[in-house]
Amino acid sequence: MADGPHTVFIEAGKVRPELFDAHIERRLSSMKGQYLDQEAYRRMLEEEDRLLYEVYELRRPEKEGELLSGISIVHPGKVGEEYFMTKGHFHEVLDTAEIYWCLSGRGVMVMETPEGEWSVKDLSPGTVLYVPPRWAHRSVNTGSGENLVTFFVYPAHAGHDYGTIESKGFRKLMVDRGAGAEVIDNPRWRG
């Protein structure tokens, strides 16, 4: 963990920052039940436990006043018609926001509140996205063959609630049914 004032250089086109404390890898097997086409998921998993996304974290003490940041990389690909995506989460401390800055690739952030509002925002290089407090968020790589790379920063005491999304899903999904990326209702959403 870097202490005191410090800088981290993120070289354009490279995903691995020069400084990080943790490297998290999420594979297909960790997304059980999350993809709409369960049969496609099963077949794909039988073939290979593909790497879907990675996170490089810059750690700080998880207390109010501190900020956590890092780089998220969602690899390109689809399970059936549905694009590779992150698990998605609410913050445990619901009233905390997050900022994402897209460094490379193309994608969207799928977001929703516990009250049922939803939003899908495009991410392309240069986009700075503000995720307000209370909004669950999931990055989706809708590009054609490129990594979706974003820098994120959020309050260090926010924590992660993955369980709500794991059991309910998101209300909206990102699929390609032949005409590129489109938002559809999640027929398996369990409210």
Minimum Å distance from CB 127 to Fe ion? 16
Residue 70 or 169: which CB sits closer to Fe ion? 70
Residue type, position 39, single letter: E
Task: Tell me whether residue 103 or residue 129 sits nearer to Fe ion (CB atom).
Answer: 129
What is the H or E stretch that residue 176 is in?
A: strand 172-176
112 near Fe ion, rule: CB under 5 A:
no
Angstrom distance (rounded) from CA 149 to CA 11: 12
Contact in structure between 89 and 136 (CB atoms under 8 Å): yes
> CA 147 to CA 25: how far, in whole Å?
14
Residue 42 has phi, psi (to 5 degrees) of -60, -45
**Closest approach of Cβ 91 to Fe ion, in Å?**
6
* Closest distance of CB 98 from Fe ion, Å: 5
Q: How many residues line the site for Fe ion (CB under 5 A)?
A: 1
- Which residues ranging from 170 to 189 are in contact with Fe ion (CB under 5 A)? none
Nearest to Fe ion of 96, 147 (CB atom): 96
**Angle, CA 141 vertex, CA 135 and CA 147 arms, to 5°:** 125
User: Which of 98, 112 has the CB closer to Fe ion?
Assistant: 98
Cβ-based nearer residue to Fe ion, 54 or 98 = 98
Rounded least distance, CB 83 to Fe ion, Å: 19
Binding mask 80-109 for Fe ion (x = CB under 5 A): ------------------x-----------
CA 124 – CA 105 distance, rounded (Å): 6
Is the Cβ of residue 82 or residue 98 nearer to Fe ion in the bound state? Answer: 98
Nearest residue to Fe ion by CB is: 98
The DSSP-derived string for 106-165 is -EEEEEE-TTS-EEEEEE-TT-EEEE-TT-EEEEEE-SSSS-EEEEEEEETT---B-HHH
**Hey, which residues between 149 and 168 contact Fe ion (CB under 5 A)?**
none
Nearest-approach distance from CB 90 to Fe ion, in angstroms: 8
Residues near Fe ion (CB under 5 A): 98
